[in-house]
Amino acid sequence: MSPTPTPRPETRLVRRARRTHRELAEAYPDARCELDFDDAFQLLVATVLSAQTTDRRVNSVTPALFAAYPGPAEMAAAQREDIEAIIRPTGFFRAKTDSLLGLSATLVERFDAQVPGRLADLVTLPGVGRKTANVVLGDAFGVPGITVDTHVARLVRRLGWVEPGIAKDPVRAEHAIGALFPRGDWTMLCHRLIFHGRRCCHAKKPACGACPVARWCPSFGEGPTDPQVAATLLTTQGPA
């Protein structure tokens, strides 16, 4: 059975979403992937490690990890306890070690120790789903993709771009968001949404009164609307 096609969004919703995106682009001109990496393999590994922890913490362990295991072949041959010792601060280190050893071995065995540049191939790697695959495609290969992490899912719901039920389903949300924007905007759109979610539109208490896109947000008022109160909630660096 073929998947249900994504309905064409209303023109006014498209216009509002794109206007909001333009404002976010002005508000966050330095938006980018906040994981440190030099190549596709490093980004793949860092993204796997980023589950249930902060990018800052991942960035604190990856220099030692990549110095010891610069590529898939070296990591596939690593001793489990050595990897676990390095990545322990990121949490869930045993499961993450399983993923790192598995994906590295698969890259060596099936892809000549190279990270593939196709979604269909990336999601066959142990521990790699669509979210991780889209991060790698967008930032390592320049292939547009939509990364529906917790920040993006929260923001597209609050902004009214995606219905709440759809926002809970990463695949449906991915297609619904994609229908609102040109494909070439997808990767940077997600970086800007994530920047905004980490710095202003927080999960528990959004800084509504200091939000650069408040005028286009139907959820305005979920957090403090007083500008001075809201300003105290802003962060200059993403905590997660």
Here the CATH number for the domain that contains residue 152 is: 1.10.1670.10
Which residues form the domain of 196?
A: 11-30+146-201
Instruction: Classify 48 as helix, strand or coil.
Output: helix
Q: Which of 120, 140, 160 is the last residue of a domain?
A: 140
| Residue 228 CB contacts under 8 Å (≥ 6 apart), including other chains | 209
Task: With cut-offs at 50, 70 and 90, classify the pLDDT of residue 161.
Answer: very high
115 with 180, same domain? no
| Residue 157 structure tokens | 């719901």
- Give the helix, strand, coil percentages of the chain, each rounded to 5: 60, 0, 40
Q: Is the pLDDT of residue 75 over 50?
A: yes
For the segment 17-36, what is each residue's pLDDT rounded down to a tens digit? Answer: 999 999 999 999 999 999 99
pTM value surpassing 0.85: yes
Report, as residue numbers or ranges, the catalytic residues. Answer: 131, 149
State mean pLDDT over 141-165: 96
Q: Is the pLDDT of residue 12 over 50?
A: yes
> In this structure, are residues 176 and 228 in contact, taking their beta carbons and an 8 Å threshold?
no
Closest by CA position to 96, among listed 145, 58, 56: 58
Q: Is 105 within a domain?
A: yes
Q: Is the pLDDT of residue 76 over 80?
A: yes
